[in-house]
């Protein structure tokens, strides 16, 4: 049992779009013996890309979980690996409109292969994913792919992983040749050269030889750096190293493993997935250096009955606990992907969804191999599988043993930055549209749907234009609904800029005999930025002393204040980053109750916010444009006219220039078309939400005068 767990790896392959994640995954599945033909991405046959439109767009939108086997030892004929380890691969998307997918897969992974393009190197979106992985402390191995391409430079990418991502990146290999002459790798641990034979068997055949003479110096140099880095991981190794003794292979690998799992080191390897070079050593690295479920911290949650903290070790003998991280509805029904943290789940049994306090029956359990499904009778700690039969469970929910409930921390999902009105093209399709929206919303928690109270319109919200475009596309393909959509609207927010102390609010009503009374005094102020750069959306604290407002009413005041956050005082956009302190007040024996204090909290908050210099905030996007030099002036001029601030300009390889800028989302609609025509199709760009900023005052006036028709505002 613990052997099985020790030999299990739950990993993800994270990459900037086009770095080669799909190709790499294909090769892994091929070498691991589960697919028999390599499907090239450009033929649209990649095994992982099972959604039709993903193939057309060539981007992997949805995380699929795939299981395969690998081992370090060879069969007697030396032709194959003896399977000793199970590797679950969670596919993560490269496009930042889908960071939520990255985020949720990082939650259930134990390690990541970060794929970089040997030409493009570290891209801004790789930085985003890297930061997310840092947040979840996920150990990583970096794989520099596409070593066969013109302009491939392993050493430069290695440097970028150090400088731009701030990682303790340590090369475990160096390439033999580059570009068209890329032949294989030098293994710096074994100090051997591995040559791949280009033939029909997709690089399954390789030869191990001595390091070529012209690479010996370089290999020695990088080996020395590796050994030093390993020595730093452990006092005993350090002593041996300073004593001038050679470290054994076991010591080196053990040191790398320890440091990688502690997040103190990122081993860097290289290859060309497309040319079938270097993929097997990457799988070896997964086994050697990435953690098993036993080597990651035990999962922590709350006991929903007692409110006390609870822990589950990765062990089959603990009570069952799991996290649902992905829901896919298709014509076969709903599949709920989940990771088991502890215990065992038998098919046909009931599980508790403690967040919803519902019991659900798991009618079938499936292990997924891309679009092939294998029925299994049970799953245990560490496993990743899909359940059939769950109805109430949505992405992010905990599943647990009903006698030993535990509620794991929900996955954090970002709020939408963009809204669009949507309606069915024909009256007959209205029900179908509603059904499709509900289903898509269950699958993707960043896809939000609501009805505008005033206009009755249905509004969808998401992480960017592309995100909503894809959702509308899926509605058409998977649910057969044609829809009309309105113009994209920015999701503005409101915030306060100043502190207001001791705002007095009295709710007093005298109607006939009985009356209503509540008196509060509150302070409001912007919340303080935390160490990790985030800020609380809302904080409440009661500083009441001596019972001038009885304790039982504090939560009523808080409830009222919180409901005032839903609708800002300027244009009705949600209010963010406010701290409220209840400091004083009074009550009446008969006329005060929970309701009167809730009303006081709500109106008091509104009045305080009005005095606290409220402003409208807009989402600012982080955009990076890669353009040939001669269009640079136009691109920059255009970005400036969109209220953009240029953050960085630097030359790329091959004469291109890279421009990074912060631009308000409101100015970026339709940018793809403009940029294409400005550069005759030669410039490319990527964009991600960066942060929120107050809008300039002239634009604020604009928004306020149009406020009524603004879609993002709640009326």
Binding site for ligand GDP (CB under 6 A): 15, 17-23, 40-42, 58-60, 94, 145-146, 148-149, 272-275
Residue among 182 and 413 whose Cβ is closer to ligand GDP: 182
Q: How far is the CB of 635 from ligand GDP (least distance, A)?
A: 24
Q: How far is the CB of 288 from ligand GDP (least distance, A)?
A: 22
Residue among 38 and 385 whose Cβ is closer to ligand GDP: 38
Q: How far is the CB of 20 from ligand GDP (least distance, A)?
A: 3
Residue among 140 and 344 whose Cβ is closer to ligand GDP: 140
- Helix, strand, coil share (%) of the chain residues, nearest 5: 30, 35, 35
Strands of the 309-312 sheet, one edge to the other: 309-312, 299-302, 407-408
Q: Is 502 helix (H, G, I), strand (E, B) or coil?
A: strand
Q: Is 490 within 8 Å of 666 (Cβ atoms)?
A: yes
In angstroms, the CA 563 to CA 609 distance is 13
Residue among 268 and 388 whose Cβ is closer to ligand GDP: 268
In 409-499, at which residue ranges do the beta strands (DSSP E only) sit? 418-424, 448-451, 458-462, 483-485, 489-490, 493-496
Residue among 12 and 441 whose Cβ is closer to ligand GDP: 12
What do you get for the CA distance between the two ends of the chain, in Å? Answer: 57
Indicate the DSSP class of residue 125: H
Q: How far is the CB of 578 from ligand GDP (least distance, A)?
A: 41
In angstroms, the CA 261 to CA 9 distance is 12
Could you tell me how many helices (H) and strands (E) the chain has, helices first? 17, 38
Q: How far is the CB of 287 from ligand GDP (least distance, A)?
A: 22
Q: How far is the CB of 393 from ligand GDP (least distance, A)?
A: 29
Q: Is 107 helix (H, G, I), strand (E, B) or coil?
A: helix
Residue among 58 and 707 whose Cβ is closer to ligand GDP: 58
Q: Is 168 within 8 Å of 264 (Cβ atoms)?
A: yes
| Full 3-state SS string of 513-580 | CCEEEEEEEEEEEECCECCCCCECCEEEEECCCCCCCCHHHHHHHHHHHHHHHCCCCCCCCCECCEEE
Q: How far is the CB of 146 from ligand GDP (least distance, A)?
A: 4
Residue among 34 and 714 whose Cβ is closer to ligand GDP: 34
In 213-306, at which residue ranges do the beta strands (DSSP E only) sit? 266-270, 299-302
In angstroms, the CA 491 to CA 415 distance is 9
Residue among 179 and 402 whose Cβ is closer to ligand GDP: 179
Residue among 45 and 82 whose Cβ is closer to ligand GDP: 45
Q: Is 548 within 8 Å of 585 (Cβ atoms)?
A: yes
Q: How far is the CB of 66 from ligand GDP (least distance, A)?
A: 14
Q: Is 362 within 8 Å of 333 (Cβ atoms)?
A: no
Residue among 40 and 552 whose Cβ is closer to ligand GDP: 40
In angstroms, the CA 228 to CA 88 distance is 32
- Specify the residue for token string 């570009």: 179
Residue among 123 and 622 whose Cβ is closer to ligand GDP: 123
Q: How far is the CB of 24 from ligand GDP (least distance, A)?
A: 7
Contacting residues for 649 by C-beta, under 8 A, at least 6 apart: 632, 636, 657, 658, 659, 660
Residue among 16 and 344 whose Cβ is closer to ligand GDP: 16
In angstroms, the CA 677 to CA 692 distance is 29
Q: How far is the CB of 629 from ligand GDP (least distance, A)?
A: 25
Q: How far is the CB of 281 from ligand GDP (least distance, A)?
A: 14
Q: How far is the CB of 63 from ligand GDP (least distance, A)?
A: 13
């Amino acid at each position: 049992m613990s052997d099985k767990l020790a030999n299990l790896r739950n990993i993800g392959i994270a990459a900037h779009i086009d770095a080669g994640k799909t190709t790499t995954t294909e090769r892994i599945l091929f070498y691991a013996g589960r697919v028999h033909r390599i499907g090239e991405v450009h033929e649209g046959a990649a095994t992982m890309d099972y959604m039709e439109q993903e193939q057309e767009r060539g981007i992997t939108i949805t995380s699929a979980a795939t299981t395969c086997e690998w081992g370090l030892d060879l069969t007697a004929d030396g032709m194959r690996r003896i399977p000793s380890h199970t590797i679950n691969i969670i596919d993560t998307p490269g496009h930042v409109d889908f960071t939520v997918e990255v985020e949720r897969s990082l939650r259930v992974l134990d390690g990541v292969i970060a794929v970089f393009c040997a030409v493009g190197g570290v891209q801004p979106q790789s930085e985003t994913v890297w930061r997310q992985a840092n947040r979840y402390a996920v150990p990583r191995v970096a794989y520099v792919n596409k070593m066969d391409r013109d302009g491939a430079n392993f050493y430069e990418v290695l440097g970028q992983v150090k400088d731009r991502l701030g990682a303790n990146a340590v090369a475990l290999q160096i390439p033999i040749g580059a570009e068209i002459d890329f032949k294989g790798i030098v293994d710096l641990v074994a100090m051997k050269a591995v040559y791949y034979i280009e033939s029909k068997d997709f690089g399954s055949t390789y030869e191990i030889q001595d390091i070529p003479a012209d690479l010996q110096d370089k290999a020695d140099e990088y080996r020395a750096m590796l050994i030093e880095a390993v020595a730093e991981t452990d006092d005993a190794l350090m002593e041996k190293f300073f004593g001038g003794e050679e470290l054994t292979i076991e010591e080196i690998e053990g040191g790398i493993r320890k440091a990688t799992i502690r997040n103190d080191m990122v081993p860097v390897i290289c290859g060309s997935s497309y040319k079938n070079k270097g993929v097997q050593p990457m799988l070896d690295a997964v086994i050697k250096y990435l953690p098993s479920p036993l080597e990651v911290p035990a999962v922590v949650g709350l006991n929903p009955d007692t409110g006390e903290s609870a822990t589950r070790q990765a062990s089959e003998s603990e009570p069952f606990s799991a996290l649902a991280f992905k829901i896919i509805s298709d014509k076969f029904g709903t599949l709920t992907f989940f990771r088991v943290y502890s215990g065992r789940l038998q098919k046909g049994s009931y599980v508790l969804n403690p967040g919803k306090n519902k019991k659900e029956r798991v009618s079938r359990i499936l292990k997924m191999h891309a679009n092939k499904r294998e029925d299994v009778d049970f799953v245990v700690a560490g496993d990743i599988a899909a359940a059939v039969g769950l109805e109430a469970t949505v992405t992010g929910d905990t599943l647990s043993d009903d006698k030993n409930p535990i509620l794991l921390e929900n996955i954090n999902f970002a709020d939408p930055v963009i809204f669009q009105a949507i309606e069915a093209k024909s009256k007959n399709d209205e029900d179908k549209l509603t059904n499709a929206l509900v289903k898509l919303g269950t699958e993707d928690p960043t896809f939000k749907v609501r009805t505008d109270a005033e206009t009755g319109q249905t509004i969808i919200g998401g992480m960017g234009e592309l995100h909503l475009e894809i959702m509308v596309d899926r509605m058409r393909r998977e649910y057969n609904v044609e829809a009309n959509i309105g113009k994209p609207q920015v999701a503005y927010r409101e915030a306060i800029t100043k502190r207001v102390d001791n705002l007095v609010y009295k709710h007093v009503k005298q109607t006939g005999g009985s009356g209503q009374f509540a008196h509060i005094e509150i302070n409001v102020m912007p919340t303080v930025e935390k160490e990790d750069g985030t800020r609380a959306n809302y904080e409440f604290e009661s500083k009441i002393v001596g019972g001038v407002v009885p304790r039982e009413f504090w939560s009523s005041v808080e409830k009222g204040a919180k409901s005032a956050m839903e609708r800002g005082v300027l244009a009705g956009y949600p209010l963010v980053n406010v701290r409220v302190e209840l400091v004083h007040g009074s009550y009446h024996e008969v006329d005060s109750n929970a309701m009167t204090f809730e009303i006081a909290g709500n109106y008091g908050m509104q009045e305080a916010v009005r005095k606290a210099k409220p402003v409208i905030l807009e989402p600012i996007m982080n955009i990076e444009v890669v353009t040939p030099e001669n269009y640079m002036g136009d691109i920059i001029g255009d970005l400036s006219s969109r209220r953009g601030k240029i953050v960085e300009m630097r030359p790329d390889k091959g004469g291109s220039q890279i421009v990074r800028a912060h631009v308000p989302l409101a100015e970026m609609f339709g940018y793809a078309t403009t940029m294409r025509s400005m550069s005759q199709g030669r410039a490319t760009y990527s964009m991600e939400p960066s942060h929120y900023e107050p809008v300039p005052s002239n634009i604020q006036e604009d928004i306020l005068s149009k406020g009524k028709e603004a879609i993002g505002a709640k009326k």
